[in-house]
Amino acid sequence: MNFKRRFPPISNVLFFLIIMVMVPCSTLPVFSLCAQEQMNAYPLFRYNLERTGRVSFAGPSVNNMKWSVSSAGEIWSSPVVDADGVVYVGSTDGNLLSITSNGKVLWAFKSGSEIFGSPAIGADGVVYFGAVSGRLYAVNPDGKTKWKFQAAGAIHSSPALADKETVYFSSYDGRLYAIGANGKLLWSYKTEAPIMLSSPAIGKDKTIYIGSWDKHLHALNQDGTVKWRLETEAKIDSTPAVADAVVYIVDMNGKLYSVNLDGTLRWAFDLGSRSHSSPAVGADETVYVGAQDGNLCAVAKDGTLKWKFKTEKSITASPVIDVNGTIYFGSWDGNVYAVNPDGSLKWSAKIGEPLLSSPAIGSSGMLYVGCVDWKLYAIGQ
């Protein structure tokens, strides 16, 4: 398939991924995503505040391609889905698209600059997303601007929403920002290097976790003060995942870290290849993460390898796990894969162009994923 590119060939930027998308309920008291999860939404990148990538409903059992919707740019952004089945996804053409479960575009919100990160949906239906311009947008369900906030650097990551509708997001300026419901700055926390892809995760105790190119996993209190920092061997593009009182993070060298909530290291596992993928955590605490060598790795809760599933090219998108334990992910080989918990192939769907968007699953069992061929795809029955 031939298509116009607005950026250098993907093969030339694999090692840098400078503008790659990315890509259990919280106990927060006022604004909680629990209600949304009970309504079977997929409101955030990695599904929940803790960014586990584990959903509470089943994904597609077949590889049937239902529909595709074209944008005017590559889709690196990972889609999200509201309780009514409306899908939101960004494009490098600068538009945030609102699409029905039947593939009809409701509206396109023009931001004026490329969108690489995944949106986030609030309890009131407001959609939040960042753009390369450094602006974070809050967009009402009708596609009209609620407010916007200007950061000092480009935004390639995805927001998290917490109590009282506080929005947390990271920027290339190296800061983690906390923005109030009125669009005003509450505080910002400065790391020692840019933050490119890592998105904030929030634990049940309200601790905020973020990775940075300063080679640290940062744990912050709700007021933006430092709780602890863990040094890693390499820069971090991965989004942390918090599950079963453990934080998981992957550095760019491909080392997966298992960290206690007090910041002490439990174990580290070498994936054997560079990685920009974020970990997903299964119900049995198995951690799934993709790597540049094309392998999806399954690592047991004790830090030992369970299995590897090999694709033909790199995996930089992040996997998602359904309620049955099936793992779904895309590869640069142009295929979407559904893999059983034992590492065997359940099905694959051929799209043909690299998949940098991480899939999202709707409550109807439909899987949504973006592609660099300018399209959003829906797969399922």
Predicted pLDDT of residue 26: 37
Instruction: Encode burial over 219-228: b for 16+ CB neighbours within 10 A, e otherwise.
Output: bbebebeebb
Amino acid at site 197: L
pLDDT at 19 over 60: no
Q: What is the CATH number of domain 24-379?
A: 2.130.10.10
- Give one DSSP letter per residue of 179-239, joined into a string: E-TTS-EEEEEE-SS---S---EE-TT--EEEEETTTEEEEE-TTS-EEEEEE-SS---SP
Predicted pLDDT of residue 301: 97
Exposure of 371 in the CB half-sphere (CA atoms within 13 A) = 25
pLDDT digits (tens, 9 = 90+) for 264-297: 999 999 999 999 999 999 999 999 999 999 999 9
Q: What's the mean pLDDT when you consider all of the chain?
A: 91
Low-confidence winner among 7-16, 279-288, 307-316 (lowest mean pLDDT): 7-16
CB 220 within 8 A of CB 207: yes
More confident site: 8 or 299: 299
Confidence band of 39 (pLDDT split at 50, 70, 90):
low
Residue 107: CB atoms within 10 Å: 14
- Can you tell me the distance from the alpha carbon of 183 to that of 285, in angstroms, rounded to the nearest whole number? 37
Beta strand pairing call for 265-270 and 280-281: unpaired
**Tokens describing residue 6:** 């607005």
pLDDT digits (tens, 9 = 90+) for 195-229: 999 999 999 999 999 999 999 999 999 999 999 99
Residue 12's SS3 state is helix
Residue that the structure tokens 């974020």 belong to: 278
Q: Average pLDDT of 307-318?
A: 98
- Give one DSSP letter per residue of 231-275, joined into a string: E-SS---SPPEEETTEEEEE-TTSEEEEEETTS-EEEEEE-SS--
Residue 336's SS3 state is strand
- DSSP type of residue 73: S
Predicted pLDDT of residue 362: 95
Confidence band of 32 (pLDDT split at 50, 70, 90):
very low
Predicted pLDDT of residue 334: 98
Q: Average pLDDT of 91-105?
A: 98
Phi, psi of 237 (to 5 degrees): -110, -15
pLDDT digits (tens, 9 = 90+) for 119-154: 999 999 999 999 999 999 999 999 999 999 999 999
- Can you tell me the distance from the alpha carbon of 367 to that of 23, in angstroms, rounded to the nearest whole number? 15
CB 268 within 8 A of CB 256: yes
The model's pTM is: 0.91
